Amino acid sequence: MEHRLNGLKENLNNNVFKNFVFSEDRRKAVNETIKTKKEKLNRDGIILLLLHTLHGRFMTGFEILNVLQEKGDCTFKEQECGLYTFLHRLENKGILCSEWKKINNKNCKYYSLTSKGRWIVSLANKKEKIALISRVRFEGGPA
């Protein structure tokens, strides 16, 4: 397939898009849209990572942070408060629930998934399986 695409970009630039010019405002708008979509994808990925981490567990924010770092995710390494912001937002949306427990004379807030959170994880798992099957089926090899 790739050999059929050789020279396509050059041909498009020389023929179809020869006189096509974007204004500076349009370029900025397109770049802003791309940036916003990337940020949303990144945010959604972080949320799914948090939900997968909590799946079937009760954990404190500190424990979640440690598990994420053990997995190699350094999203919250510099700003741990960002993790708590995500946790509180997910809690406010009914995706997580929390419970305060006193352990060794310390009050600790433990987070877990609600039924809505578990449903989101199962839905994400199904989508991942479908995407994997599609890649294998249509690209002719493992993902």
Q: Where are the domains of the chain?
A: 1-40, 42-138
Q: How many Å apart are CA 143 and CA 124, to the nearest integer?
A: 17
**Among the CATH numbers 3.40.50.300, 1.10.10.10, 3.40.630.10, 3.60.21.10, which is that of 42-138?**
1.10.10.10
Q: State the sign of the Cα–Cα–Cα–Cα dihedral 63, 67, 69, 74.
A: negative
The string of pLDDT tens digits covering residues 93-112 is: 999 999 999 888 889 999 99
Q: How many Å apart are CA 54 and CA 105, to the nearest integer?
A: 24
Other Cβ atoms within 10 Å of 90 Cβ, number = 23
Q: How many Å apart are CA 113 and CA 128, to the nearest integer?
A: 20
* Tokens 């909590």 -> residue: 54
Average pLDDT, the chain: 78
Whether residue 143 is predicted with pLDDT greater than 50 in this model: the reply is no
Q: Which residues of 94-109 are buried (b: 16+ CB within 10 A; e: fewer)?
A: ebbbeeeeeeeeeeee
DSSP-derived secondary structure letter, 78: S
Whole-prediction pTM:
0.62
